[in-house]
A and B are shown apart, each in its own frame.
Chain A
């Protein structure tokens, strides 16, 4: 039980409770302009008796707005009758970063690298501790909605880290497909990073399934990316058995959503990423969805400071489908500028290829 963060309404009501409540997670703070302050993170609970408790999270990174908008809309529209069990929504985890249009908090912290948090740490660490210690253990499942933020642009899609826990992996794949998105991107764990320090990693560490998505990015939320995220979220909640209301997103976006459930496998990050090999200004030479072969040009790094006007080429290290291009054009050596993966028409084709590979 966190001593430095609490919810303004009771999160531990009896299982037969029915009601919709909105309030704040209040975290003790002390700033230059307010010696005795509370950092307030809006939270909404819609509960209708017993059933699963699902936690909907967005704004883990401040400049990833697609999920924040979807979660804000969900928090407003959900009524008690739409729910069986409880939907708990925190639309904007990193409010200060969201307001500043940045990935990181103003103190430089990446909310998605501070788990399991710290009870007496910074505000971000206190919030992470509250989630890890007070919320995740009480939830049956968690969805954490991301996007490329300012620096990257993804095919709006469900994503899944290929976790080593077999049983959990199976459940996470089931939940990912439940979202009925056109694309599910399979990835590995980020190199040179403690997986448990990420929010989804902390949920997995606690033995629970987590659903994640990357719904666009590069600092623009489009009608199309919002269609993918709103439909995916509604399908997820219905699949978890916690949403029993009308097909709101499904009907609004009936004609703009492809539910074919294609898989893009980028689990092998050693070849799936293309990275900047020099500092400069990066130009995308491939589009999302484009198929590339090994050695194809994916981008150019310009040097606008010298008259030589030479460019450094970035080439694909594997063949496949482009699922990520660069947003923010200035790049530093080592920045990921493109991601490529093998495209499968559906989960059956993907699993068949896995079986064939393991048989060899």
Chain B
């Protein structure tokens, strides 16, 4: 129960409603202010309850568009159960086109939030204590933002809990994307401080995905995101299996599915110098260990040779660098072994 955030809509009420999560705020220009976060609810009675979050990071727009457009196109009769959707949970960051909030907060590192904290912390606390506990399924849609470009696809963070892991794998498959990527918990990070990590700690069913990035959403990446979201919602029996919509074009042909295993530390390639990064390989391209996958140029020194980044392992390129001005320690490329079937994935 949050004492600092309230909802203008009642999620138990039947029908389609739009309103705001309202967090107490006090700013230089408005001493007594309310931060209004748009939220939507569609409730048709019995069935699964699903929470969809877009824009966890501000500059990851694919999910924000997919969620906002979905809500506009859904009626109460299209679903069996309850849907709560926040299209752009970090919208001040979206308008600034930044990953983080203006106060420097990374919304995906502050769970379970703080009732008496900053605005994003209050919102996170409300999600953690009010919204996530009342739903069965959480869908959190990401992309590469400005820094990365991903193969558009489903993702999962490997779990040691076998029962929970099998549910994650089921959902990874249910997104029905051409590419899926599996990675380990992020090093040096409290997994439960992430929205999905917090959801996992409560044992709730979880869908995550990375749908493109590098500061451009294309018609294709947006359509892939819509198609995946529809597949996910049908797989949990919230959206009726025969639902389709011309105004919410979600038709994506999925062939030759690949599951890319990025759990091993040699999947990750880091900038070892500060400079101007050049991607030498394309997304989805096969590389061999030792091949040049990128080059860091030094534009300020006219005759210094570029620093080459070599593939630490063989595999498929799943992520390339977006913003090319890299600092030492920035992740520039992810490479992983590709499997055509999830059952081939090693333990």
Contact = CB atoms under 8 A, between A and B. Distances in A.
Nearest to A148: B216
B217 A284 contact: yes
B184 interface: no
Majority-rule SS of A interface residues: mixed
A28 interface: no
Interface stretch (B151-159, B203-211, B277-285): B277-285
Contacts of B281: 223
Given A281-B64, A283-B61, A42 B300 contact: yes
A85 to B, nearest CB: 21
Interface in B117-140: none
B88 interface: yes
Given A304-B68, A330-B95, A284 B218 contact: yes
Contact of B220 (A283, A287, A302): A287
Contacts of A306: 38
Majority-rule SS of B interface residues: mixed
A76 B71 contact: no
Interface string A143-166: 000000010010000000000000
Interface stretch (B42-50, B315-323, B335-343): B315-323
Interface residues of B, number: 55
Interface residues of A, number: 54
A330 to B, nearest CB: 5
A275 to B, nearest CB: 18
B250 interface: no
Contacts of A304: 38, 55, 64, 68, 87-88, 91, 94-95
B299 A98 contact: yes
Interface in A257-281: 281
A76 B18 contact: no
B96 A328 contact: no
B276 A220 contact: no
A69 B276 contact: yes
A300 interface: yes
B146 interface: yes
Given A309-B38, A325-B216, A24 B71 contact: no
Interface of A: 22-24, 40, 42-44, 59, 65, 68-69, 72, 75-76, 91-92, 95, 98-101, 150, 153, 218-224, 226, 281, 283-288, 290, 300, 302, 304-309, 311, 325-330
Interface of B: 18-20, 36, 38-40, 55, 59, 61, 64-65, 68-69, 71-72, 87-88, 91, 94-97, 146, 149, 214-220, 222, 276, 278-282, 285, 295, 297, 299-303, 305-306, 320-325
